[in-house]
Amino acid sequence: MRNFDPVSLRLFIAVCEERNIAVAARREAIVPSAVSKRISQMEEAAGVTLLERGRRGVAVTAAGEVLCRYARESLQLLDRMQAELGAFAEGVQGHVRVFGSKSAVAQFLPEDISLFAQRYLDVRVSLEEREIWEVVRGVEEGRADIGVCWDAVDMRGLRTLPYHRDHLAVVVHPAHPLARKRSVSFVDTIDYEHVDIVARSIMQTTQRSAAAAAGKQMRYRIQVSTVDAAYRIVAAQLAVAIVPAEEASAIQQALGLKVIPLSDKWAKRQFVVLVREKGLSLPAQLLVQSLSSSEGIQPRRSGRSK
């Protein structure tokens, strides 16, 4: 299809829209004979009739309709390519919408976005904290360009790239019986009263499942809506809390709490960057590269998490 160059495609689209070669030629500022010659060359190259010519104009054949559709898509792709290449010359500009899960926002996402923003001053990144299922659905429906969350749910076939990892731990008061341990299994914490952090529903669901698998039931003494409140409950010796060790380390010294890593396999969590397969703007592509670069692993298509 060597004769299907951008100029020929643009002329063919004009003829399809005007249903008249002379009118299309006038619209594109070219003589009608040149338009007719190019279309004839395209028909010869394709081996099919694209237009049925008549006295009052032309009719587009079924093959012509197919070509017209692909011609529009091809020219749109070329226009986007030119715009993005121009952005490199002029400085990248744009707006990227990011949905992040609560743990991602609490630990590392703001700092990583800040590093990106310092490099690309004309790119505006808006970050919204959402539940994990909202992150996935937001990307799937196009309300967010990029999602960042724990890979504990069905990613709905979205493209995923590995991001940071963290490690869940139990936070206890220094006087608690578990305080002297260097690590502990989750089952060993179940007999003690826990803080129910309702803002982290996926974590709570995972813990209940782990308790049920051990033939036990979670004992929640107090329900809170924030992690900071949970730390205060632990400091008052009312309960223990399960949180990311990396996140708890910041408060460990301030409140004198003990952070003990969980030895369970599921306590080591993988976070991922989520995007749709197509349609990412150049600024969004650059942010994805920036967020995922620390892992150095090739992108993978997600299925349901194990």
- Furthest-apart CA atoms within the chain: distance in Å: 96
pLDDT tens digit string along 51-80? 999 888 899 999 999 999 999 888 878 876
The sign of the torsion formed by the CA atoms of 261, 185, 149, 287 equals positive
Instruction: Provide the token pair at 5.
Output: 């160059």
Average pLDDT of the residues of the chain: 87
pLDDT of 281 strictly over 80: yes
Stated pTM of the model: 0.62
DSSP 299: -
Residue 74 vs residues 53, 78, 80, 140: alpha-carbon distances, Å: 25, 6, 10, 24
pLDDT digits (tens, 9 = 90+) for 99-144: 999 889 988 899 999 999 988 888 889 999 998 889 999 999 888 9
Helix axes 32-46, 6-18, angle to 10 degrees: 110
Closest CA relative to residue 272, chosen from 291, 246, 252, 247 = 291
Q: Please, which pLDDT band fits residue 86 given cuts at 50, 70 and 90?
A: low
Confidence of residue 87 (pLDDT cuts 50, 70, 90): low
**Using 50, 70 and 90 to split pLDDT, how confident is the model at 297?**
very low
Banded pLDDT at 305 (limits 50, 70, 90): very low
- Neighbouring CB atoms inside 10 A of 121's CB total 10
Query: What pLDDT, on the 0 to 100 scale, is given for residue 304?
Result: 37
